[in-house]
Amino acid sequence: MESLVIEPTNRTPKVNFDTLTGVFEMSGRSIPENAPAFYNTILDWLEQCKQKSNISNIQAIFKLEYFNTASSKLILDVFKKLESFKEKGKLVSIQWYYDPKDEDMQDAGKDFKDIIALPFELHPLS
């Protein structure tokens, strides 16, 4: 299965899921005009990956500067989709990076961590 790469814009984050390494990275800002359309591409790809890929270990890295309310729910959907990989016997961990001066992004990471049943680490960017 081919990797998923979405180049960033001033409204959407960079997305890179490397199927060779199992590293899924999302970084930048997430304030798309049509959040469901943007995230459905990712969610659909993740579902195909779960069914077809031989990846056994996934490291999801999130380095978001900002996201809006519409993106928040869909980011949670991405986490839930990653959580569903466990059903296939795959190991998944999440790394949430945030600017230490941005309490909102740190709190968002804590909230996601409380909801998702995956290893979830919070890291201040240095």
The 3-class secondary structure across 39-54, one letter per residue, is HHHHHHHHHHHHHHCC
CATH class for the region spanning 4-124: alpha beta
Per-residue confidence in pLDDT tens, the chain, 126 aa? 899 999 999 999 999 999 999 999 999 999 999 999 999 999 999 999 998 888 899 999 999 999 999 999 999 999 999 999 988 899 999 999 999 999 999 999 999 999 999 999 999 998
d(CA 105, CA 102): 6
The confidence score (pLDDT) of residue 52 equals 86
The confidence score (pLDDT) of residue 107 equals 98
The confidence score (pLDDT) of residue 85 equals 93
The confidence score (pLDDT) of residue 1 equals 86
Sign of the dihedral defined by the CA atoms of residues 4, 16, 104, 83, in that order: positive
**Where do the domains of the chain lie?**
4-124
Task: Kindly state the tokens that stand for 29.
Answer: 């800002």
* One-letter amino acid of 121: E
d(CA 84, CA 78): 10
* Dihedral pair phi/psi, residue 40, rounded to 5°: -65, -30
Residues 6+ away with beta carbon under 8 Å from 112: 75, 76, 79, 94, 96, 120
Single pTM value for the model? 0.95
